Structure 1
């Protein structure tokens, strides 16, 4: 930890939807930038009671829920209200997979089931805007995809990356909001947890657990390095924004 990080601590509120879909390798980067991480299990928490602006940063992780399934999962409606309050205040938010979909919904865009799940170690292609954003660190670096839902691009954001199957893979608003559909958080442990939990889905996509383990062995380290660079650059950007505002 740097002296600056030690002298000025911040709080990152993490909204988690499944114990197997955790913060992973994002955690060390947050801690290195001076964040105290507070993880909330949204399904077991009164999300409506959370002050949406109390944390310096909100991180919204993935889950099997659909952002449009608020009747089945009422806490998602509470999360959407929390995100809308932060968006109105331009308070920093980072969303991953379901988190990106919830951010798209909070910004007024449609979230819906795609034609086919996107699963495996796959590349995303940064747009011109993405090449000048933190997402650029994933150019040419395969990363984990495991989702069936997608979203229309919200108004007032920059599209940062796409893939052959789903064109909306990342977006941002200014420096304070960043959303990625892919999974930069995946560690070896998370990867194994997912293979155990959902490995029976893989044959439908021409994949096996053995193949994904081989790909993890090849791509895991570069993906984790890209993850640290992506999140670190985003956090540095919101820190610079806060200094300017002060």
Structure 2
């Protein structure tokens, strides 16, 4: 069976609707938890068809504090050099950018909550065209567009919300994978950050989740299916 490996940093930030798509395609999904053993060995031993690096509360620059990030950067380098399918979400996208030599740094303000992204011309011609509904944002850092990458989406706060590297690698700063039923776990896990973020409230995120999550789940599945068609063919 074809395998997909996802590197997970916190339990509630998982593959969400993307995992459902993979399972429907007969692709076995394995999570490897950061900080639990040697990431390089665990992932390379499996030789997955797809590697996804998920989001998390650490920063891409904190390699001294969190040495497992160095292993993730090494894995990214290897996947890129071999043009093997690679998806980075939030922290994962920042790590792909960093591996390609781009600067990762604090944005002017945090983006936390539901909001739309604006697609570039290239993005509108890509599988991201399936995402017309607001998506979930949860990040404080942004990054420069890596050399050789194509910008696919942006917001006023973060000019680089999505980018592609060749045909096989994709970075998404936002969360298109999240399931509405899982958002309550985000609200619990990020309670301190919400409390410290002016203009962000649990009530508003809950209300927006009720309004947008169902549409995102169906659109996210269509997006991911199209992207997999492109990179796994």
TM-score, structure 2 length as denominator?
Answer: 0.94
- Deviations, residues 152-198 of structure 1 (Å, cap 9, x unaligned): 10011110000011110000123211110001121123210111122
- Distance change >3 Å, CA 200–CA 75, structure 1 → 2: closer
Match of 1:95 in 2: 88
Between the aligned partners of 1:135 and 1:53, the Cα distance in structure 2 is 29
RMSD: 1.5
Report the equivalent of 2:98: 105
Tell whether the 8 Å contact from 2:18 to 2:220 is kept in structure 1 after alignment. yes
Paired residue total? 231
8 Å Cα contact 1:52-1:82 kept in structure 2: no
CA-CA distance at 1:239 after TM superposition = 2.3
The alpha-carbon deviation at position 54 of structure 1 amounts to 1.0
In the aligned structure 2, how far is the partner of 1:238 from the partner of 1:191?
29
- Rounded to whole Å, the distance in 2 between the matches of 1:154 and 1:89 is 18
Structure 1 consecutive aligned stretches of length 4 or more whose deviation exceeds 6 Å:
none
Question: Is 1:118 aligned to 2:118, yes or no?
Answer: no
Once residues 67 and 227 of structure 2 are traced to their aligned partners in structure 1, the CA distance between those partners, rounded to angstroms, is 30
In structure 2, distance between residues paired with 1:236 and 1:43: 32
The alignment status of 1:74 with 2:67, answered yes or no, reads yes
Paired with 1:163 and 1:75, the residues of 2 have a C-alpha distance of 30
Is 1:36 the equivalent of 2:28? yes
| Other-structure match for 2:151 | 159
Query: Of 157, 160, 166, which aligns to 1:174?
Result: 166
Counterparts of 2:27 and 2:190 in 1: how far apart (Å)? 32
Task: Report the equivalent of 1:56.
Answer: 49
Secondary structure, counterpart of 2:35 in structure 1: helix
Secondary structure of 2:121's partner? coil
Deviation at 1:21, TM superposition (A): 1.1
Q: Is 1:183 aligned to 2:147, yes or no?
A: no
CA–CA distance in structure 1, aligned partners of residues 37 and 8 of structure 2: 10
Does residue 222 (structure 1) correspond to residue 219 (structure 2)? The answer is no
CA 1:221–1:106 in 2, change beyond 3 Å: closer, same or farther?
Answer: same
Q: Which residue of 1 aligns with 2:12?
A: 20
> Which moved further from structure 2: 198-207 or 22-31?
198-207
Gapped regions of structure 1 (runs ≥ 5): 1-8, 241-246
